[in-house]
Structure 1
């Protein structure tokens, strides 16, 4: 499913009007009626309910006037609170049509805060049509701020038109203040701000209405942002005749005397996601822990510390199709030595996933990525703090910054997974958003499991970008399977990974 920015939506609407001869008036009519249809589908019959529609002066308000007029076909209990006379021709037409149908409009500036609060509190459903996706500045008007506050405080149920007023459609940020909707009805395609927090939280349930923007228009426009959904997910194929040699090996390089469990979690995740052979390359304590958890793991004991020469000898024995996972539990001591290990690993053609302290070490010389083997796929899986160190930007600048993820991936020729409540993935060609998961994944060790899961999928010959999309999606669903959200350890998540794959295969 595509996701778009406000600018891209305007371009789609413009192309619909000019290239497909569908007028702005038709689009607004269908938008307003689709809001009414969504309310009926979600909340039941309309005649028994009362409505207040809060309309702004732009086209979002015009959508609200269409919805108000259509609601008059079902009930007389419809009132509009207007914050200003419509400023666009098509919105004015629908304002006038609503009045001709016997509609009631209260001017907010004349009504006053107390009376507006009373009208809003008496309605069963309040429709928010104040600001649409075009809002690009902070809401500084004190009276509008108060109106939004009383809508949030006194409404029994709020349905937002296109996006909750006050939420930026491009990044989900709050523009001073914002509506907390129970239901949001958006048009044509979802906006990026619907998927990024806090906008994602403020949308409530999201419904996407088709208002006449042709699919051909959407497909030919070149939109490069997508929401990961089950429909487009690719899962690995496992022929009945396959054996352990059919699939590639996974090699986990990490761990330290300080962090013993991290590479073990990665290894177990790789096995549970389908890897046939997993090698753990680490210090003695990690190898001992790994063998205690699963004796089918193959341990390569490097002694008490990592050494470039010793690793180089090992690398020379590994098949060229093996997948390396570098960094879980590595710690950053002797970082120069570990940076040299990363440099050596980047020169071989094997697919490589860099996670955790592997990223922290790499951040000391990010340009090493430019020296990688031309045929090599490199996947980086940073959380916002690690991505901040990689890009030398502040945490605030990198968090949920999908454009930065895209630019970084394009510049260094890598796949980047920015892990967060909404994870952002890019290969420098497209941007993908993943919204599966919950706070059951907000645990130490979760990232280690994800890196192993990705390696396990790639070992079954999925293309790296497809494996990353599937892995992040599956990992989120595994978190959602925890019986009581957050009442778990990361280790518990391992047990749900096969269950998720089973469910997805049954639904194919």
Structure 2
């Protein structure tokens, strides 16, 4: 993997705070940009003509919100998303995002294994870079299913249950979980050192000045792309 500067947990949290204060971004805007990038990464991996059925697994936090936004964009790109969203967060934003999907008649399911069997790809938007501690119900079985499924997985910002600094866990349901693709939001996190699949960065809204302040690299985005693929041996951010 090409060398690049990553964004650690404290810096990532501080960056989000600055973006929403002096940067004047709202959480809605940041989530919309993230979800748009996720949907474009999915399209790059496999367009709807090839893989129409996408299962989007969402957690209760902002990572899950990114997944909800991504599903809306995927629908308008021609996919047929199905949502697994067993534990909705308390922020009213999540309720609004869910309502938008329900208005599009996008189905929600409580039977994750059955939905996996009907899917061409899975988007893992369960836990993001801020995850720590034990995986709580109902997500251990979900991560176990992601690990053992033959259906390819695109992880949002972090493979769920991975430690942001130390990568894949040494025990628990996430041990040996290795998704096919990863989209790092704003900048890659240190866990990317352990990731060997296709790797994208989405964050085409951060200035070079901000990137320099927080010590990460901005990739070269092409044309109107919201994502940049990174990670090949001859490629450098």
Give the corresponding residue for 2:201: 208
Cα contact 2:56–2:125 (8 A) shared by 1: yes
Match 1:29 to one of 32, 45, 61: 32
Give the corresponding residue for 2:80: 77
CA deviation after TM superposition for structure 1 residue 46, in Å: 5.0
Match 1:190 to one of 188, 191, 200: 188
Q: 1:130 to 1:12 in 2, by over 3 A?
A: same
Higher helix content, 1 or 2: 1
Superposed, 1:126-275 pairs within 5 Å as 126-139=122-135, 141=136, 143-174=138-169, 176-178=172-174, 179-195=177-193, 197=194, 200-201=195-196, 204-221=197-214, 223=215
What's the secondary structure of 2:76's corresponding residue?
Answer: coil
TM-score, length of structure 2 as denominator length: 0.81
Alpha-carbon RMSD across the aligned residues, in angstroms, is 2.5
Q: 1:29 to 1:18 in 2, by over 3 A?
A: same
Matches of 1:66 and 1:158, distance apart in 2 = 17
Structure 1 residues 148-196: Cα deviation after superposition (integer angstroms, max 9, x where no partner): 112222341101111100101122141733242100011111101111x
Superposed, 1:338-357 pairs within 5 Å as none
Unmatched 5+ residue regions in structure 1? 227-434, 437-476, 478-502, 504-508
CA deviation after TM superposition for structure 1 residue 126, in Å: 0.6
What's the secondary structure of 1:19's corresponding residue?
Answer: coil
Unmatched 5+ residue regions in structure 2? 218-230
Superposed, 1:455-466 pairs within 5 Å as none
Structure possessing the higher radius of gyration over alpha carbons: 1
Cα contact 2:48–2:78 (8 A) shared by 1: no
CA deviation after TM superposition for structure 1 residue 146, in Å: 1.4
Cα contact 1:12–1:218 (8 A) shared by 2: no
Give the corresponding residue for 1:407: none
Give the corresponding residue for 1:118: 114
CA deviation after TM superposition for structure 1 residue 133, in Å: 0.5
Q: 1:40 to 1:24 in 2, by over 3 A?
A: same
Structure 1 residues 228-263: Cα deviation after superposition (integer angstroms, max 9, x where no partner): xxxxxxxxxxxxxxxxxxxxxxxxxxxxxxxxxxxx
Cα contact 2:54–2:79 (8 A) shared by 1: no
Q: 1:64 to 1:155 in 2, by over 3 A?
A: farther
Work out which structure has the larger RCO, using CA pairs closer than 8 Å and 6 or more positions apart in sequence.
Answer: 2
